[in-house]
Amino acid sequence: MAYPIRLAACLAVTLALSACAADQGRYPSLARRPAERVSGSSAVVAPAPAPALLPEIAASPELAARLGQLVGRIETVHQRFLARRAAAAARVSAAAGAAVASDSWSVATIALADLESTRSEAMIALADLDAMWVTARIAGEEAPALAAARDHAIALIGQEDAILAGLRGRMRG
């Protein structure tokens, strides 16, 4: 019984609303008017050339000194990472099979965090090398010394990543 009443109410509302739209001539059209049309054109302005971020990318004594500094920093951090690895590995071995949040697990987690922090120092130097390398590539320069330094840094950090992954795996397992 309720369905026929609802149907009749819907039909009545539809008929009432359609009556409102009967006199279309009284309302303005929503079509675009001639005054609203865009006409004319403006001159195209050429963009200004981007400034060189690191103009010293060409083989220069400054570049060689900067590369030596960054690679030296990465190698120093890598040696510190390797020196801390044995202590972290011992703590991870002691925590193998321990419950999460136990004392041995906490000590091992802190040791891993210390290794990751040391690794992040190398990543900062790698980020500087990456920025220099990208700038050189954008400028269309090969910069083989820069590429070699960057590849060396990536290899050292890759070793650190592999060590950290192994230690994390031993923590879980």
60-103 pLDDT per residue, tens: 788 888 888 999 999 999 999 999 999 999 998 888 878 887 88
CB 80 within 8 Å of CB 118 = yes
> Is pLDDT at 40 greater than 80 in this prediction?
no
Domain residue ranges in the chain: 60-172
Among 92, 63, 82, 67, smallest CA distance to 157 is for 82
Cα gap 141→119, rounded to integer Å: 30
Total-model pTM:
0.62
User: At 55, is the pLDDT very low, low, confident or very high (cuts 50, 70, 90)?
Assistant: very low
Lowest mean pLDDT among 34-43, 45-54, 163-172: 45-54
